Every structure is written in C-alpha cells, then in structure tokens.
Amino acid sequence: RLKELEMPRLGDSDVHVKMLAAPINPADINMIQGTYAILSPLPAVGGNEGVGQVLEVGSRVTSLKPGDWVIPANAGLGPWRTQGVFPEDLLLKVPRDIPLLCAATLSVNPCTAFRMLADFETLAPGDSIIQNAANSGVGQAVIQIARASGIKSINVVRDRPDLPKLVERLMALGADHVVTEEMLRKPEMKEIFKSIPKPRLALNCVGGKSTTEMLRHLQPKGTMVTYGGMAKQPVMVPVSAFIFRDVRLRGFWMTQWRKDHAQDQESVAGMMDSLCQLIQRGQLTAPACTEVPLQDYRAALEATMKPFVSSKQILLL
C-alpha cells in the first residue's frame, strides 16, 4: 500500500534524504513474497536500491552534506519512499554528474557484474566469457564492463517475438555474440570459437537446461558462477564435466559480499569509483528503463513480473 508515515527525528549521526528514483528488481519482489534470503522486519518499506539527495545532516555526520547524492550501502534500506532519515553509515555518496537512472540502478546489478568479472577468474584482454539472461540488468552491465576491459562476451537470451530488436540492442551495448538457448546445442557454435577462445567464465542466472548447455562450452578448469535461478530449476551438471574437465561451480550474492567486506571500505570505494568512472566515460549506461510515478507502483510491480521483460521499472519519487 501507499501510505503516509511520520518523519523520524534527525539524530546526531543521521541523514535526512529526499529520494529521487528507485528501481524494482526481481529480488525486491521476492522479499515482498517472503521467499528471499533476507527479509525486512514488518511493517516494511519496499526496495533495495535507489538514489536520493541529502537535505539535512546530524551534528556528528562528517562524510555527507546537503545537496550530495547518496545510494544505499546495503540491501534492505527500503528506498521506495519520498523521504527518509537514515544512519550515515548506511549511505554511500555518489557523484552528482552521473545520470539519475545510472545512480538509481548502481548499487545492485553493476556491482554484481563487476564482482563476478573480477573475483572468480583472472581475465585478460582477448579472453571470453559466456552468460545467460544477457538482457537482464546484470547481463547488460556485464556486456559493457567486459567490453571496457577488452573481454569478449557470448550472450545467451531466450527466443522471443522481437529477437532481432533485442540482438541489435545488446550488440549496440558491446556484445560480441548474441545467441538463443536453442543455438547453444547447434554446430554453429563452433564458428564462434574460430575467432575467439572458449570462455573461462560462465555466468548463470537461469538454472535448468540453459546451464547444462552453457557449461558444454566452458574451457577445462573454467568456472561457472550462479547468481540467480529464473527458471526455478536446479543446476544440472554432467559428471564428465567435473571429472574430465575439472570445471568449478561457485555461487555469488552481492548482499553477502557487502557483509564480508563491511570493514573493508577500500574495496567498496574502489569498486564504486571504477563503476562511476565507466559511467562518466560513457562506457556503462543504465539498463533500458521505464519511468513510473510512485502512485502507479502497482502497474510497475505487475510489469516487473511479466515474462520477456527487457525494461526495468523505475519509481520516480
């Protein structure tokens, strides 16, 4: 429900923020459904990421001042609101010269893409990666960050009525190859590997058959990282992939990474700086977005849950 709440008093270490924009991500829906790994104590305000402008700061706040742009430092902040009072340590400052939609969608998908490309395999220019759900928010960020690093990307999407349009959009972002899940099984895949090496890293957001097919193309001793399960089916791996090709299967969850690095502000700041520089250089853009006024939140939630969605719903606050 859309509800009027009383504004809490501003404490010495608190920051009063006017929220500007906040996206709706699949994980936000899962939290509302009660099926996500972290759940906010009820009653709760929805959402996990967004951008706001500082209106006022408490007397002990040192890192922020009125006018600064801020994003949540962790999940569960509840940014689907017009204003809020938050402790200083739950906010991260971001440059005001980046586009609003880039700032609003910065703390989840681009961070997930950045960490998966950096933390599991040592990739060098000319290496390749393969990913499914390539049109998702993370998928679009992976394409762009890989391109900026000289890494080739093979991008798997589901077949759909407007496939040529989607392929064109992903290629414009910097995708090297876009294939459908059906194509993964076909001999044409050999053509791709005449010009680029087999991937050392596979990124899986789907599960089920899609994963098994993607795994076939991974180099021996390569790593597959699972960060989502959109098909709601288990990851199926042939025994031979483990024995004869020694592939590694790992999982990744951005919320856990943030918990593990809560005391390591250097890593967090380094990642945010790198991403903001890519945005400032025009090498990383916001995913395709549909802007929705807060009062139309129901329509935005429904649109997020439809299949074949290639546009992220953003609540304008």
pLDDT in tens, 167-182: 999 999 999 999 999 9
148 and 173 belong to one structural domain? yes
Same domain, 145 and 175: yes
Residue 19 predicted with pLDDT over 80 = yes
Q: Is the peptide bond before 99 cis (omega within 30 degrees of 0)?
A: no
* Residues 170 and 188 grouped into a single domain: yes
Q: Kindly state the average pLDDT of the residues 92-111.
A: 96
Q: Is 36 a catalytic residue?
A: yes
Tell me: do 29 and 100 sit in the same domain.
yes
* Alpha-carbon gap, residue 228 to 222, rounded angstroms: 19
**For residue 51, what are the domain limits?**
14-105+286-316
Same domain, 119 and 186: yes
* C-alpha closest to that of 181 among 155, 161, 162: 155
CA–CA–CA angle 28, 279, 133 (5° rounding): 45
The enclosing H or E element of 130 equals strand 128-131
**Please, which pLDDT band fits residue 289 given cuts at 50, 70 and 90?**
very high
* pLDDT at 255 (0 to 100): 93
- Cα distances (Å, whole numbers) of residue 101 to 45, 90, 291, 294: 21, 20, 9, 15
Q: Are residues 132 and 239 in the same domain?
A: yes
Whether residue 260 lies inside any domain: the answer is no
Percent of the chain with pLDDT over 90: 90
pLDDT band at 284 (very low <50, low <70, confident <90, very high): very high
* In-domain check, residue 1: no
Task: For the chain, report the end-to-end CA distance as a whole number of angstroms.
Answer: 15
Those residues whose C-beta lies under 8 Å from the C-beta of residue 34, and which sit 6 or more positions away, are none
Pairing of strands 152-157, 69-72: unpaired
Both 69 and 33 in one domain: the answer is: yes
* 109-161 confidence digits (pLDDT tens): 999 999 999 999 999 999 999 999 999 999 999 999 999 999 999 999 999 98
CATH number, domain with residue 173: 3.40.50.720
pLDDT > 80? residue 87: yes
Please say if the pLDDT value at position 163 is more than 90: yes
Rounded Cα gap, residues 176 and 216, in angstroms? 19
Which residue among the candidates 24, 36, 78, 136 is catalytic per the annotation? Answer: 36
Q: Global pTM?
A: 0.94
Helices (H), the chain: 26-33, 100-104, 109-119, 137-148, 163-173, 189-195, 209-215, 239-243, 254-260, 265-280, 297-304
